[in-house]
A and B are shown apart, each in its own frame.
Chain A
Amino acid sequence: TQLLEQSPQFLSIQEGENLTVYCNSSSVFSSLQWYRQEPGEGPVLLVTVVTGGEVKKLKRLTFQFGDARKDSSLHITAAQPGDTGLYLCAGERANNFNKFYFGSGTKLNVKP
């Protein structure tokens, strides 16, 4: 079993729709990061959240860290084909800085 569970695993939507991706765990994290990965490339950092309840916005993407720092969500408003990719969450445990555990990923396809 993985430390971080991501859902859904796959998501195929039409351009303009909204979506939310979830990242859940029973463990507490000192920080949680979201990455996006394109085919044939390595993941690229989107955002880092470190405070329970924190909300960060990156254009049409909204990231939230749970109050207890065990879960996070990524919400995309009015999705565009350019948002297509694999979204990964990664948690850093409080007693082990700079050691990251990744979720299994959410593969998003936005159709024009």
Chain B
Amino acid sequence: NAGVTQTPKFRVLKTGQSMTLLCAQDMNHEYMYWYRQDPGMGLRLIHYSVGEGTTAKGEVPDGYNVSRLKKQNFLLGLESAAPSQTSVYFCASSYTFGTGSPLHFGNGTRLTVT
């Protein structure tokens, strides 16, 4: 019963390097999200997807790109990492039975950019 799985769990990057975070869900959910969590800021939405092949910007999209080529996967890319992108990244998914659908979260990826 995996739910939402994020890889990797930890990563250290140097400024300017690139990387991709992978999120996979096995619940057949339509919606998927990428959030970042910083101390005192709660969770802020980076990008989200309402279905396979679609993506949309959230509150803090700059410096990130996403892709949803398969329904079960949602990738978050950093093309040129900056220290301001040091954060804990969470992926989530939800079904779409109207308002109030719960979010199911992965356990996060801790990213440090030096």
User: What is the interface of chain A, defined by CB distance below 8 A to chain B?
Assistant: 2, 4, 6, 9, 30-31, 33, 35, 40-45, 48, 50, 88, 90, 92, 97-105
CB under 8 Å from chain A, chain B span 24-59 = 31, 33, 35, 40-45, 48, 50, 58-59
A100 engages B45 (CB within 8 Å): yes
For B92, what are the chain A residues with a Cβ–Cβ distance below 8 Å?
A: 42
Q: What residue in chain A is nearest B40 (Cβ atoms)?
A: A104
Assembled-state Cα–Cα distance A103/B37 (Å): 11
For A98, what are the chain B residues with a Cβ–Cβ distance below 8 Å?
A: 31, 50, 94, 96, 101
Min Cβ gap A5→B in Å is 10
B42 engages A102 (CB within 8 Å): yes
Q: Do A103 and B42 contact each other (CB < 8 Å), given the known contacts A42-B4, A98-B31?
A: yes
A-B contact count (CB 8 A): 67
Q: What residue in chain B is nearest A3 (Cβ atoms)?
A: B59
Q: Do A33 and B102 contact each other (CB < 8 Å), given the known contacts A42-B4, A42-B108?
A: yes
A48 engages B108 (CB within 8 Å): no
B101 engages A6 (CB within 8 Å): no
Contact of A9 among B40, B45, B101, B102 (CB under 8 A): B40
B100 engages A50 (CB within 8 Å): yes
Q: What residue in chain B is nearest A50 (Cβ atoms)?
A: B100
Q: What residue in chain B is nearest A92 (Cβ atoms)?
A: B99
A97 engages B48 (CB within 8 Å): no
For A4, what are the chain B residues with a Cβ–Cβ distance below 8 Å?
A: 42
Assembled-state Cα–Cα distance A100/B35 (Å): 10
Assembled-state Cα–Cα distance A97/B41 (Å): 22
Assembled-state Cα–Cα distance A6/B101 (Å): 22
Contact of B41 among A42, A50, A104 (CB under 8 A): A104
For A88, what are the chain B residues with a Cβ–Cβ distance below 8 Å?
A: 42-43
Min Cβ gap A78→B in Å is 27
Min Cβ gap B45→A in Å is 7
Assembled-state Cα–Cα distance A9/B50 (Å): 32
B100 engages A105 (CB within 8 Å): no
